[in-house]
Structure 1
Amino acid sequence: MSASGIHHVTAIAGPARRNVEFYTKVLGLRLVKKTVNFDDPGTYHLYYGDETGSPGTILTFFPWDHVAKGRVGVGETQETVFRVPEGSIGYWTHRFIDKGVEHEPLVKRFGEPILSFRDPDGMRLAVVGVPGVETEAAWTGSDIPAEHAIRGFHSVNLLLAKAAPTAAILTDVLGFTEVAREGSLIRLKAGDTRNGGIVDLHEVGGFLAGRAGGGSVHHIAFRAADDAEEAAMVEKLAQNHGIRTTEQKDRNYFRSVYFREPGGVLFEIATDIPGFAADEPVAKLGEALKLPGFLEAHRERIEGVLPELV
């Protein structure tokens, strides 16, 4: 495989304006694409990431004003974790205090300092201090100094009744290898992938199933370099695990298939191509509402029902 790891994470949110305010102004991410839910075009689909929306940096949301609150449980993503420079954990602690962000005491996980927090909808997030990432490029379009800025995803943490069946999919099909265990956590890593290269499996018993809603993760997308690699992964899922995916869906910026893995989490395989500059230049990413071709004729009506973001 030419590329492994997380492509993007998609979650459910409350009011769109509040979502934009938190992720661009508090976390300092770039709004790289403003489009709509292709299956529900009266709702935004908002994408945040680094300067170009690189795979492994992209967090997306379907925001609904009056969405019911979700419940974290078995078969769901428990936490989505960002990478920051190791020396920046203190900066983020003070920033969360200053901005009134709900957060937990600093702990260590697999030897790394991790600061967990929640967004306004209760979505469970964290920043983890990673040595050496300060040398990587950072988006500097916010008030956060470059030396402290987020550098894409570190990991996702999946809450599962049994970890082994999910691990089998991650290792056999999606390019991960088990690298460590700590208590009830199993860590898998995708080679030397820096952004989004880690999945932690949290095996628990007796928990309720998750309930989708505001603050919950809808699905996790994993990388395929192109259509051919995606097709090979689909074939391996069917032949080795008896799992069938959806047909390929064109999402304009990547092409996707979806399947429910054995632990109940909705997985997607998304191509790295064509990327977020497919319909607007990098310098203008996220500024204009972008619609797929089949919805362009309905632009006026769609714009009339979407809420203002600023």
Structure 2
Amino acid sequence: MEGTLGLHHVTCLAGDPQENLDFYLGVLGLRLVKRSVNQDDPATYHLFYADRQGTPGTALTFFPYPHLPPHRLGVGQAVEVALAVPQESLGYWEARLARYGRPLERGERFGLPALLFPDPHGLPLAFTAAEGPGLPWEESPVPPEHQVRGLLGARILEREVEATLAFRVRNEAHALALRETVLAWGLRPTPLIDRFWFRSVYFREPGGVLLELATEGPGFAVDEDPEALGERLVLPPWLEGQRPAIEAALPPVRLPGKGG
């Protein structure tokens, strides 16, 4: 049986959504490929950042809660997310992050040179010199040759869950086959759940971390023009009837200005 194809996306909690947007789009230059809501808590945004077209394996997503207490590392969280950048870009990123006042240090991840720094809400990030599947986005404030190329890995502390780590599968048949394997391990996977942009099976592994098997498609362009991804609030069809209430509950956000 075919195993997973690698990471699909990594999802973490954040604080203020505007600060999250300003950093990941305005400073790191990722593209906001989907502005939606937490389907289990529609009064909360779900923000998806990725490469130009939301290629599987490039998405870092957040549930921002403006009134969260200060960040503290603990079990069940993603305690570091490693992102791939071109090796020749480490100097560029060191200068850019310093210009934006981010504390950083040089280190190593997976035997490769890396820059280590926190995001505005305390999530540790590691920009690591490595190849990745990401496609440059022409409107990014970061030059194409220096842009983030995708996810490289994530470190998690196990037991209670505060963040999801998602693995990529080809399609629904692949997800269901792996679900049977999870059942054979004596775990309790969910049915295949429709997330509209992908389909997912969730299960809690023995250490207590919630894992997700997410299909490669249909993708983020299924309900938006590829040239306009992330520019408006998008809801899955089953939440459209609640749009007025959802929009009233969400704090207003604006996309950071271009140019960097």
> TM-score, normalised to structure 2's length?
0.91
Which residue pairs with 1:121 in the alignment?
Answer: 121
Q: SS where residue 240 of structure 2 aligns? A: helix
Aligned match of 1:250 in 194, 207, 210?
Answer: 194
Which residue pairs with 1:215 in the alignment?
Answer: none
Percent identity over paired residues = 46
Which residue pairs with 1:83 in the alignment?
Answer: 84
Aligned 8 A contact 1:71 1:211 in 2: no
Are 2:140 and 1:142 equivalent residues in the alignment? yes
Residues 150-183 of structure 1 show CA distances to partners (whole Å, capped at 9, x for unaligned) of 00111112345xxxxxxxxxxxxxxxxxxxxxxx
Q: SS where residue 114 of structure 2 aligns? A: strand
How has the CA–CA distance of structure 1 residues 67 and 74 changed in structure 2, closer, same or farther, with 3 Å as cutoff? closer
Residues 1-33 of structure 1 show CA distances to partners (whole Å, capped at 9, x for unaligned) of 386000001111111111111100111000000
Aligned 8 A contact 2:52 2:134 in 1: no
Higher mean alpha-carbon deviation, 66-75 vs 4-13, is at: 66-75
Cα separation, 1, equivalents of 2:45 and 2:76: 26
Query: What's the RMSD between the two structures over aligned residues?
Result: 1.9
Which residue pairs with 1:176 in the alignment?
Answer: none
Cα separation, 2, equivalents of 1:57 and 1:68: 28
Are 2:236 and 1:292 equivalent residues in the alignment? yes
Aligned match of 1:304 in 236, 248, 256?
Answer: 248
Aligned 8 A contact 1:102 1:119 in 2: no
Q: SS where residue 128 of structure 1 aligns? A: strand
Aligned 8 A contact 1:246 1:259 in 2: yes
Which residue pairs with 2:176 in the alignment?
Answer: 231
Which residue pairs with 1:197 in the alignment?
Answer: none
How has the CA–CA distance of structure 1 residues 252 and 83 changed in structure 2, closer, same or farther, with 3 Å as cutoff? same
Cα separation, 2, equivalents of 1:136 and 1:253: 18
Residues 119-152 of structure 1 show CA distances to partners (whole Å, capped at 9, x for unaligned) of 111011110012x66x973123222111111001
The alignment covers a number of residue pairs equal to: 253
How has the CA–CA distance of structure 1 residues 125 and 237 changed in structure 2, closer, same or farther, with 3 Å as cutoff? same
Cα separation, 2, equivalents of 1:301 and 1:158: 35
How has the CA–CA distance of structure 1 residues 108 and 295 changed in structure 2, closer, same or farther, with 3 Å as cutoff? closer
Return the letter of the residue paired with 2:177. Answer: A
Residues 273-305 of structure 1 show CA distances to partners (whole Å, capped at 9, x for unaligned) of 110011011111111111122221221221122
Which residue pairs with 1:109 in the alignment?
Answer: 109
Higher mean alpha-carbon deviation, 51-60 vs 70-79, is at: 70-79
Higher mean alpha-carbon deviation, 274-283 vs 74-83, is at: 74-83
Aligned 8 A contact 1:8 1:60 in 2: yes
Which residue pairs with 1:173 in the alignment?
Answer: none
Aligned match of 2:214 in 256, 266, 270?
Answer: 270
How has the CA–CA distance of structure 1 residues 102 and 232 changed in structure 2, closer, same or farther, with 3 Å as cutoff? same
Cα separation, 2, equivalents of 1:288 and 1:137: 22
Aligned 8 A contact 1:47 1:58 in 2: yes
